Amino acid sequence: MNTTIVSMTAADWPVVAEIYREGIATGHSTFASESPANFSEWNKGKVVGCNVIARDEAGLVIGWACLTPSSDRCVYVGVAEVSVYVAGAARGRGVGDLLMREMIARSEVLGIWTLQAGVFPENKSSIALHVRNGFREVGRRERIGKMTHGPFAGQWRDTVLLERRSSVAGRS
């Protein structure tokens, strides 16, 4: 499979939103109940230069990834949360790994020394993706949020907190 990773643009939003909705519907991707209305709304607060998409050999968007600052406090300027979503039809083909490696590379160029992620413990493939890419489990946040939608509506959910420390950025 010939997959390319490129920067996301507003023109990619309809497919990005569809992939996000697909993840939302599983109940194992996010506490969000719906995707933002448009690219501008979704893009608010993201780390500039760290929104990417994966395109297959036909040019179709098959996944996306982004970084969001973990806090607006200046001491956490080098810490960001990573999100990776892959279209159902493209799962199991290494797309998530390509997206994650691109996020790591872009984050380090920007001086981000810690990437973190909160993943539902049932999402074993996402946890495995993170671990393959240098993340480690640092804890479990029990009953951190209550689902408002989907197959787990009304249930309190745990998340596994994962982090990756850069061996390049933030060392000085």
Return the CATH number of the domain spanning residue range 4-165: 3.40.630.30
| Pairwise CA distance, residues 102 & 88, whole Å | 20
Whether the full predicted model's pTM is greater than 0.75, yes or no, is: yes
Q: In what order do the strands lie in the sheet with 4-7?
A: 4-7, 51-55, 61-69, 79-86, 114-119, 156-165, 136-146
Residues 32, 29: Cα–Cα separation, whole Å: 9
Domain range list for the chain: 4-165
Residue 172's pLDDT is what?
A: 63
**pLDDT, tens digit, 9 for 90 and up, residues 104-140:** 999 999 999 999 999 999 999 999 999 999 999 999 9
**pLDDT confidence band for 103 (50 / 70 / 90):** very high
Residues 60-98 pLDDT 10s: 999 999 999 998 888 888 999 999 999 999 999 999 999
